[in-house]
Amino acid sequence: MGEEILANPIAFTSIQELLVALLYVFMTIATPIVVFFLIYAGFMYVTAQGNPEKIRVASQALMYGIIGGVIILGSAGIATIIKNTVEAF
């Protein structure tokens, strides 16, 4: 009788391609979240009305939003560097 062959449902041929694709999905989801947090931190500044405690909380939210954005943007660069390094060997 005939042999049945299962097709690979994943379009990626290597682990590196899969990880890069997952990273881009993560970046697509995380970027709007970071933008939301930056807008929310600005809203917190506006509504602080000079209250030092609320200004401190807004400053922390802004700092964490910026750090999150840098990590997200940096992750693409780091992934590209790692992928190119692995492919070089």
Q: How many domains does the chain have?
A: 1
> How many degrees, rounded to 5, is the angle at CA 83 between CA 10 and CA 74?
105
Name the nearest CA neighbour of 70 among 23, 27, 22.
27
CA–CA separation, 88 and 20 (whole Å): 16
With 80 as the cut, is the pLDDT of residue 16 above it? no
Structure tokens at 5: 């062959």
Looking at residue 7, its pLDDT comes to: 79
Place 1 in a pLDDT band, splitting at 50, 70 and 90.
Answer: low
Question: Is 15 a member of any domain?
Answer: no
Residue at 11 is within a domain: no
Residue 72 structural domain: 29-88
Residue 62 domain flag = yes
The mean pLDDT of the chain is 88
Which pTM value belongs to this model? 0.72
Q: Round to whole Å and give the CA distance between 42 and 49.
A: 12
Task: Flag whether 46 is in a domain.
Answer: yes
What is the spatial distance between Cα 32 and Cα 56, in angstroms, rounded to a whole number? 24
Q: Has residue 76 got a pLDDT over 90? A: no
The verdict on residue 6 lying in a domain is: no
In this predicted structure, what is the pLDDT of residue 62?
A: 96
